Amino acid sequence: MNHLVIAPIIIPLLVGALLMLIDERRRALKATLGVVSASVLLALAVLLLYLTDHTATGADATVRVYRLGDWPSLFGIVLVLDRLSAMMLVLTGILGLSALVFALARWQRAGAHFHSLFQFQMMGLNGAFLTGDLFNLFVFFEIMLAASYGLALHGSGLARVRAGLHYIAINLAASLLFLIGVSMIYGVSGTLNMAELAVRIAAVAPEDRGLLEAGAAILGVAFLIKAGMWPLGFWLPNTYTTVGAPSAAIISILSKVGIYAIIRIWLLVFGDSAGTSAGFGGHWLLIGGVLTIAFGSIAVLATQNLARLAGASVLVSSGTLLAAIGAGQAAVTGGALFYMTSSVLAIAGLFLLIELVERGRMVGADVLAVTREAFGEGEDEESDDDDAIGVSIPAIMAILGIAFMACALLLAGLPPLSGFLAKFAILAPMLAQGAEGLPFTTWALMVALILSGLATVVAMSRTGIDVFWASPAGDLPRVRLVELAPVMMLLALCVALTVQAGPVMRYMEDTARSLHGPERYVQGVMTTAAPGTGKGVAP
Amino acid sequence: MELILALGIGVLTGSGVWLLLRPRTFQVIIGLSLLSYAVNLFIFSTGGLRTGAAPVLERGMAGSLASHADPVPQALVLTAIVISFATTALFLVLLLAARGLTGTDHVDGKEKSR
């Protein structure tokens, strides 16, 4: 039973390796294996989530520690499953399955080894969410990035290679920063285990503390580049715009891996028990987050292209999360986790949806639409449009339009969908402590959150009107059921999040509380130090 | 020894960063390689610089970092070398693809208009 924790890493590794051996022409077999693996991963993630949450009343059951090779946990590498990891695994599973099913229709044929790359991508993501060791986190980051390079370039073409060149160069530089940060932290504290680091940080000598904090800051920069915080995120919209739809949907969670790493390490290491380093860098997260929201909102308003719009909303969601985490209150973090779930699903859905919508459109129709608006040429068309009243919108466009509207509501945070609940859950605890005495940054965050919602509404309704109502009629997009189903599934999950908001929010609040008081995480890792004390007894 | 190593890392990093910011893809990849050498040396140095320390524990000695070299940075540097080598190779392939597709070796895929 205990070995379940490593299964989310082993399964995609084995399936991915196996898929490389199978000939590209046996596409049905490869696709079946890939989908089976993705479904098993999702089922497993849900099971792990259930186990983690269900046994929460037990003493140390919320944190499952898996010792790789059964080495004592401070000597070997540990995998740690807690509520946050379990939640991220489920999100990865959902995105993986829906993106893969979507890719079955067309994208798997666009280049070689799509399915292997996809499995390795899942493996890297799952590993990054599970590991409890800083250097192991680096290794899984690299696996995940290497696979994402492949997926980003999948389908080739001039634009993709051009954007991919920047994407890879930036991420290679970020990986080097990651290494510098990790080795500085190791040089000062003498450990790479996150839990042990959290214990040791209070005892670090004052003259070494500056070095440790510098190391942590450099590490933080590496994560923030992934998360796309302003001014480190200029690469993000460009890359996400050019990659193929299923790749974009799965790669969109990569920015959340940066956020996850910050939540995990910052709250664990620089929590209240960190002595004089407690809360180190929180203001940077908050201010950087607000600036990212501002930049993302301007980018959302300025785009003339659907895919860029989605890329810019990734920035807005990253900024919201960073700022909410930087606020440093357990209740706000709970809301942020809910927001993350909702926005990850909505953005992935939007990336998939955009590809379907774009299919039937003229090339450059976006730019034309905006130009027409700017020069007021739209007015002239009104007169000869009289006979067009009552023309029915084709069913497929209606379905896509409704899905687009749902995405807009989710991303802008308007009722009745989960985006609204998420923003409310972030804002309410901030106001709960009374309007007086609120620091300026908190006000700035609230204003930025609300204005970013407004910007998203304006931009998405403008684009939506152009695409679905006002555009020069192109061919109807040919959409297959396997492509529509994943989009619908993602949106249905958002609806489910709305309906079941009570239990979900309870889970998020528990997660946030254990993140802000990580004693149990630390204990869980430290007490399994001796071999043979855990459930996985060595033979 | 510390001074030489520190200077070495500094010079490699400086040249690496400068090359990374240059407009030609070949300069970028050489810059990334130099940077990764600098980072590898840096990781290696976090274990402390000593000469003549035993690589593993000698028989009958108590385990302490005073008596043998720290093995963790060595393991880390090995991993880092392998990974940066692989990613540089991947970048090289992409660089060639970009050169073939765009017909120029500028990082933006087009020459700056003058």
pLDDT of residue A427: 86
More confident position, A180 or A381: A180
Burial of A27 from C-beta contacts in 10 A (0-12 / 13-18 / 19+): middle
ipTM over the 0.85 cut-off: yes
Query: What would the pLDDT profile of A279-294 be if each residue is shown by its tens digit?
Result: 788 888 888 999 999 9
Residue A368 inside a domain? The answer is no
Residue A205 inside a domain? The answer is yes
Q: How confident is the model at residue A475 (pLDDT cuts 50, 70, 90)?
A: low
Classified as helix, coil or strand, A72 is coil
Beta partners for A258?
none
Residues of B in Cβ contact (< 8 Å) with A161:
94, 97-98, 101-102, 109
Q: How confident is the model at residue A45 (pLDDT cuts 50, 70, 90)?
A: very high
Query: Which among A168, A179, A180 is the top mutation candidate for probing chain B, defined by the most B β-carbons within 10 Å of its own β-carbon?
Result: A179
pLDDT above 70 coverage of chain A, percent: 88
Residue A121 inside a domain? The answer is yes
Residues of B in Cβ contact (< 8 Å) with A186:
46, 72-73, 76
Global confidence as pTM: 0.88
Residue A182 contacts B, CB cutoff 8 Å: yes
pLDDT of residue A56: 56
pLDDT of residue A198: 87
User: Cβ of A156 and B36 within 8 Å?
Assistant: no
User: Cβ of B91 and A139 within 8 Å?
Assistant: no
Query: What would the pLDDT profile of A138-189 be if each residue is shown by its tens digit?
Result: 999 999 999 999 888 887 788 888 888 889 999 999 999 999 999 999 988 8
Residue A379 inside a domain? The answer is no
Query: What would the pLDDT profile of A393-439 be if each residue is shown by its tens digit?
Result: 677 778 888 888 888 888 888 888 888 888 888 888 888 776 666 77
The mean pLDDT value of chain B amounts to: 86
Facing B98 at nearest CB: one of A162, A172, A175: A162
Query: Which among A160, A170, A176 is the top mutation candidate for probing chain B, defined by the most B β-carbons within 10 Å of its own β-carbon?
Result: A176
Residue A112 contacts B, CB cutoff 8 Å: no
Which residues have a Cβ under 8 Å from the Cβ of B16 and sit 6 or more positions away? B31, B32, B33, B34, B35, B37, B38
Map out the domains of chain B with their CATH numbers: 2-47+70-102 (1.10.287)
The mean pLDDT value of chain A amounts to: 83
Classified as helix, coil or strand, A466 is helix
Q: How many contacts, defined by CB atoms under 8 Å, are there between A and B? A: 81
Residue A193's alpha-carbon distances to A132, A442, A521, in angstroms, are 6, 33, 12
User: Cβ of B32 and A135 within 8 Å?
Assistant: no
A63: domain range?
4-362+393-525
Residue A406 inside a domain? The answer is yes
Two tokens, residue B52: 């003549």
Beta partners for A193?
A133
Using the structure block, give the residue that is written with the tokens 């785009």. A303
Query: What would the pLDDT profile of A84-118 be if each residue is shown by its tens digit?
Result: 999 999 999 999 999 999 988 878 777 788 899 99
Distance in angstroms (rounded) separating the CA atoms of residues A376 and A374: 6
Q: How confident is the model at residue B73 (pLDDT cuts 50, 70, 90)?
A: confident
Centre a 10 Å sphere on the Cβ of residue A464 and count the other Cβ atoms it contains.
Answer: 18
Residues of B in Cβ contact (< 8 Å) with A197:
none
User: Cβ of B108 and A162 within 8 Å?
Assistant: yes
Domain count of the fold of chain A: 1
Q: What is the mean pLDDT of residues A323-338?
A: 87
H-run or E-run covering A80 = strand A78-81
Q: How confident is the model at residue A59 (pLDDT cuts 50, 70, 90)?
A: very low
Facing A162 at nearest CB: one of B46, B83, B109: B109
Residue A26 inside a domain? The answer is yes
More confident position, A271 or A317: A317
Residue A380 inside a domain? The answer is no
